[in-house]
A and B are shown apart, each in its own frame.
Chain A
Amino acid sequence: MMTKENQLQIAESLKAHFGDDILSTETPFDFLTITVKKEKIKDVVQFLYNDESLQFRFLTDICAVHFPDASEKFQVVYHLHNLVNNYRLRLKVNMNGEHPELETLTTIFPGANWMERETFDFYGIHFKGHPNLKRILNVDDMLIHPLRKEFPLEDQVRLDKNDAQFGR
């Protein structure tokens, strides 16, 4: 299991190797979370993969968050897992822009292919070098990126909804 010493060790190891590219280290709810500069995310993940003492060789998830009020509007979150020691790690990357760009992780983890497509589909985040970056769950010709906060959840085609019953 991942003890506080292990977490400290991993954080120290990353800090020693990458220095200023590691922007912060936190443990919300005892889950090691490291914020990385967006240009370096691929190098960090590659290091975590290759290093024999770290061995984070399983990519659990890639997802994104949209913070419309923050200074850095989009955040992409990577969850990695060390299957040998059962350690989990979360990497966060903050960025701005209408279609923020990031390096793809498909060369390290083939599983990142569909995860990045989903992130692109719902948030509009472009992954440079992705072999097939197109929508995966929504209709192919959709113009918007639905999970961004400016777009409403409800389908706008309905004309029969009584506002009073929806609390509006």
Chain B
Amino acid sequence: MAVDIRADYKPEGIEGAGFFATKLDDVVGLARKNSLWPLPFATSCCGIEFMATMASTYDLARFGSERLSFSPRQADLLMVMGTISKRMGPVLRQVYEQMAEPKWVLSMGACACTGGIFDTYSVLQGIDRIIPVDVYIPGCPPRPEQVLDGVMKIQELVQNESRRRRETPEYKAMLAEYGII
């Protein structure tokens, strides 16, 4: 039985002998999607689960995230993993602001999404109170398979994003809602 095995999605385009013409958006999306450099903002237990995801059994690196960077200037994807306390809020915000466009945010675990089981005076009830989030991964902690699923959803967003999106007034209005100019 013939099985169609494809390494990756090929964008629509006109193919010929020695050339392939397609939209720049598609090519750029493909390139960005397969080389997302994450910034692991690991605070608690979800950070440990992320370490398991980066390790050999579940290997996040095969999705292109080989190079993790703790410097926000060099990262595309901010992965917030773990409980963010109110004292940590401004730090997280500053790290987000220091990242260069285009940037995506992945919120992993119940604590980063909504504060988790820690509904207290000291825990920020979800990072989307201070920064815009693209994908939420629920779980306490989410299994590595779920983390990979979340990263794949980010990849989908990355691939389909228009190159002009970061300059549009809608995007700027959304940032203004968070107080990020």
A9 and B46 alpha carbons, distance in the complex (Å): 52
A18 and B87 alpha carbons, distance in the complex (Å): 44
In the complex, the answer to whether B86 meets A139 with C-beta atoms within 8 Å is yes
Q: How many B residues, CB 8 Å from partner? A: 10
In the complex, the answer to whether A139 meets B119 with C-beta atoms within 8 Å is no
Smallest beta-carbon distance B44→chain A, Å? 16
In the complex, the answer to whether A137 meets B119 with C-beta atoms within 8 Å is no
In the complex, the answer to whether B125 meets A137 with C-beta atoms within 8 Å is no
A155 and B119 alpha carbons, distance in the complex (Å): 6
- Whether B19 is near chain A, meaning CB under 8 Å from some CB there, is no
A146-B122 contact in complex given A137-B87, A139-B86, C-beta closer than 8 Å: yes
**Quick one: closest A residue to B89, CB to CB?**
A139
- Contact among A152, A153, A157 with B125 in the assembled complex (CB-CB below 8 Å): A157
- Whether B115 is near chain A, meaning CB under 8 Å from some CB there, is yes
CB-CB under 8 A from A20, the residues of chain B are none
- Contact among B87, B115, B125 with A138 in the assembled complex (CB-CB below 8 Å): B87
In the complex, the answer to whether A139 meets B120 with C-beta atoms within 8 Å is no
In the complex, the answer to whether A155 meets B87 with C-beta atoms within 8 Å is no
Q: How many A residues, CB 8 Å from partner? A: 13
A146 and B85 alpha carbons, distance in the complex (Å): 14
A138 and B125 alpha carbons, distance in the complex (Å): 15
User: Binary interface profile of B, 39-69, with partner A (CB < 8 Å = 1, else 0)?
Assistant: 0000000000000000000000000000000
Max chain A Cβ within 10 angstroms of own Cβ: one of B86, B87, B121, B122: B121
- Whether B123 is near chain A, meaning CB under 8 Å from some CB there, is yes
User: Binary interface profile of A, 134-163, with partner B (CB < 8 Å = 1, else 0)?
Assistant: 000111000010100001111101100100
CB-CB under 8 A from A146, the residues of chain B are 121-122
Smallest beta-carbon distance A26→chain B, Å? 33
Q: 8 Å CB contacts to A: which residues of B77-130?
A: 86-87, 115, 119-123, 125, 129
A46 and B46 alpha carbons, distance in the complex (Å): 46
User: Chain A interface (Cβ within 8 Å of chain B)?
Assistant: 137-139, 144, 146, 151-155, 157-158, 161
18 A–B contacts, CB within 8 A, in A order: A137-B87, A138-B87, A138-B121, A139-B87, A144-B121, A146-B121, A146-B122, A153-B120, A153-B121, A154-B119, A154-B121, A155-B115, A155-B119, A155-B121, A155-B125, A157-B125, A157-B129, A158-B119
The 4 A-B pairs at the shortest CB distance, nearest first, are namely A146-B121, A154-B119, A139-B86, A139-B87
